[in-house]
């Protein structure tokens, strides 16, 4: 008697699908960063350096909020866990995922926030709407990463792709402005 064919997708097929979704997420993020900045006009009166840094501070608040939410996720996971000692006792999947999301969010935020400050300080005034859009996409990418990771590790990839794309563009543009 022949064995029934496997109905679950193979690991190779899942990896191909994840790669396709990642490429699509990068493409969407790049298109958004290229086409949508005019919809995110900067507020009036931010020509002087102090006003620009105040503008950056308002933008930096959003990644800080996401970071705070991920800390809250770890706290909730600890409260729901039967593990009294997180070092010695078994941890739930939600707890482990929340810890990994927090770690990655700290890393990504430590790249994004200073790069955004450098960009806002240097970029031409008419282009400052880009900073608002980049911040919105960064926050969206982090939330997609977290939600996707809770579903399955492969599903976190689009959020990571959006975050990485935003970080590379913001950091790259800030570097170009610093060198030129």
CATH number of the domain that residue 145 is part of: 1.20.120.550
Read off the pLDDT of residues 5-40 as tens digits, 9 standing for 90 and up: 555 667 888 788 888 888 999 999 999 989 888 888
Domain count, the chain: 1
In a domain, 9, yes or no: no
Alpha-carbon Rg for the chain in angstroms: 20
Q: What separation in angstroms does the CA of 12 have from each of 16, 61, 145, 154?
A: 6, 40, 22, 12
In a domain, 11, yes or no: no
Candidates 173, 40, 166, 65; CA nearest to 112 is: 166
The structure's pTM equals 0.87
Tens-level pLDDT at each residue, the chain (180 residues): 555 555 566 788 878 888 888 899 999 999 998 988 888 888 888 889 999 999 999 999 999 999 999 999 999 988 887 766 667 677 888 889 999 999 999 999 999 999 999 999 999 998 999 999 999 999 999 999 999 999 988 889 999 999 999 999 999 999 999 998
Q: Is the dihedral of CA 108, 113, 115, 119 positive or negative?
A: positive
In a domain, 13, yes or no: no
Average pLDDT score, the chain: 89
Domain that holds residue 74: 49-178
* Tokens coding 3: 């064995």
Q: What whole-number distance in Å separates Cα of residue 174 and Cα of residue 120?
A: 8
In a domain, 144, yes or no: yes
In a domain, 1, yes or no: no
């Amino acid at each position: 008697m022949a064995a029934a064919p496997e109905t679950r997708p193979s690991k190779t097929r899942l990896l191909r699908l994840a790669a396709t979704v990642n490429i699509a997420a990068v493409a969407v993020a790049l298109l958004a960063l290229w086409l949508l900045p005019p919809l995110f006009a900067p507020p009036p009166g931010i020509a002087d350096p102090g006003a620009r840094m105040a503008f950056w501070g308002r933008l930096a608040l959003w990644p800080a909020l996401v970071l705070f939410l991920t800390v809250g996720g770890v706290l909730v996971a600890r409260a729901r866990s039967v593990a009294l000692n997180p070092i010695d006792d078994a941890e739930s999947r939600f707890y482990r995922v929340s810890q990994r999301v927090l770690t990655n969010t700290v890393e990504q935020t430590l790249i994004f926030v200073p790069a955004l400050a450098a960009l806002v300080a240097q970029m031409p005034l008419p282009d400052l709407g880009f900073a608002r859009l980049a911040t919105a996409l960064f926050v969206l990418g982090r939330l997609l990463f977290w939600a996707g990771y809770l579903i399955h590790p492969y599903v976190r990839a689009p959020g990571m792709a959006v975050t990485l794309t935003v970080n590379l563009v913001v950091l790259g543009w800030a570097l170009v402005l610093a060198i030129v």
